[in-house]
Amino acid sequence: GIQVEQSPPDLILQEGANSTLRCNFSDSVNNLQWFHQNPWGQLINLFYIPSGTKQNGRLSATTVATERYSLLYISSSQTTDSGVYFCAVETFSGGYNKLIFGAGTRLAVHP
Amino acid sequence: ETGVTQTPRHLVMGMTNKKSLKCEQHLGHNAMYWYKQSAKKPLELMFVYNFKEQTENNSVPSRFSPECPNSSHLFLHLHTLQPEDSALYLCASSQDPRTSGKETQYFGPGTRLLVL
């Protein structure tokens, strides 16, 4: 099956710093999503990005489907950005979409 | 608030208990999913229901029994669980999983389960 690898596994930042999270995937996919899981477990959709670049405030994401990777940029990080960031690729099999998640990047932003 | 709610948020149960997790979506979606998130492991898909029909059972032990009475509600019935079943159980919904590459999944807040 498709493998999804995220790096780095852990990241510690000082408030205000910028960071880049990476997601590599092993095969062609229909789509790719980035999620943020807050400390209480809630998964929030950040980006739905099969290719190209999208921006939402301090966050932006770029997916290069032909090279099988996606990047999530966090600028001017804040303590509320802490949590786990997951990349999930979408495949279509058995008649429905299936999300395959990476192991996540655990981010801690300190004041 | 994603439009997907789960109850209870926390659950502690013994190995001989029977309990049920509930998920409800208010988004008008047609598909619902159960995921398991164990410590230090990626989210694992357990079950998929599309228009109330189960379309995926991802090799889940029979001590987990899903039920989808309608497209807005999803249950996960638990019985004779093991301590290794302790995890965060997440529910998600989407519009139509048969529409390839067009629909995102929205997640509930999860139920944190501890089996003693």
- One digit per residue, the tens of pLDDT, for chain A of length 111 reads 889 999 999 999 999 999 999 999 999 888 899 999 998 889 999 999 999 999 999 999 999 999 999 999 999 999 999 999 999 998 877 767 788 999 999 999 999
pLDDT band at B99 (very low <50, low <70, confident <90, very high): low
- pLDDT at residue number B97: 63
Cis peptide before B61 (omega within 30 of 0): no
Residue B55: pLDDT over 90: no
* DSSP-based three-state secondary structure for A101: strand
Which of B25, B44, B107 has the most A C-beta neighbours within 10 Å, making it the best mutation to test the interface with A? B107
CA distance B5 to B70: 15
CA distance A72 to A69: 10
Which of B100, B102, B103 has the most A C-beta neighbours within 10 Å, making it the best mutation to test the interface with A? B100
For residues A92 and B6, which has the higher predicted lDDT (pLDDT)? B6
User: Is A1 at the interface with chain B, CB within 8 A?
Assistant: no
Q: Which residue of chain A is at minimal alpha-carbon distance from B87? A: A41
Q: How many Å is the Cα radius of gyration of chain B?
A: 13
Q: What are phi and psi of B17, to 5 degrees?
A: -75, 160
Residue A3 identity (one-letter amino acid): Q
Q: How far B109 CA sits from the closest chain A CA (Å)? A: 4
CB within 8 Å: B42 and A99: no
